[in-house]
């Protein structure tokens, strides 16, 4: 075979590997939910991070906002294996404690900078937008 044919064969092999990899990525099972209690409300403790002098602030949200945040947290995708570099992480976060009618509660910490999102998961645009609307002024300045 000529070099031209080897180039075409190599391109087809790379394309096939990319398609197979994408199909495996998109067909993987949904990750386990981080919030698995029936949500009736939540306490959100906001930490502006190390680059701010703002104190931690706790706010509360009702059932509809808490359910929406819980659903968006559960919809986040895992980061996967391997090392990650998280530049610009100043420690800003929100600790969401979800309450259930049974009295049970479940906490999830969501980083707001660097590798933002619940631990081991990517943030997701919808979750970032929702947290931005719920945050007290100055506590989530990195959001759009």
The DSSP annotation for 35-90 comes to: --S-EEEEEEEEE--TT--PPPEEEEE-HHHHHHHHHHHHTPPB--SS----TT--
Query: Residue 65 — very low, low, confident or very high, per pLDDT cuts 50/70/90?
Result: very high
Instruction: Answer yes or no: are the C-beta atoms of 134 and 73 closer than 8 Å.
Output: no
Query: Residue 27 — very low, low, confident or very high, per pLDDT cuts 50/70/90?
Result: very low
CA dihedral over 31, 35, 39, 43, signed as positive or negative: negative
Tally of CB atoms within 10 A around 3 = 7
- All structural domains of the chain with their residue ranges: 1-30, 39-77+88-134
Query: Residue 7 — very low, low, confident or very high, per pLDDT cuts 50/70/90?
Result: low
pTM of the model: 0.74
Q: Which residue has the tokens 């945050």?
A: 135
Measured CA to CA, the distance from residue 49 to residue 127 in angstroms comes to: 19
pLDDT of 93 > 90? The answer is yes
Query: Residue 41 — very low, low, confident or very high, per pLDDT cuts 50/70/90?
Result: very high
């Amino acid at each position: 075979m000529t070099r031209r044919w080897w180039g075409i064969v190599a391109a087809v092999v790379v394309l096939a590997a990319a398609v197979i990899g994408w199909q495996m990525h998109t067909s993987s099972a949904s990750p386990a939910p981080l919030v698995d209690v029936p949500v009736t409300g939540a306490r959100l403790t906001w930490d502006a991070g190390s680059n701010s002098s703002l104190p931690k602030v706790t706010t509360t949200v009702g059932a509809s906002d808490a359910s929406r945040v819980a659903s968006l947290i559960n919809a986040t995708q895992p980061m996967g294996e391997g090392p990650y570099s998280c530049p610009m992480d100043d420690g800003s976060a929100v600790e969401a404690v979800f309450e259930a009618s049974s009295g049970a509660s479940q906490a999830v910490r969501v980083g707001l900078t660097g590798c933002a999102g619940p631990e081991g998961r990517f943030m997701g645009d919808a979750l970032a937008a929702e947290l931005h609307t719920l945050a007290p002024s100055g506590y989530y300045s990195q959001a759009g």
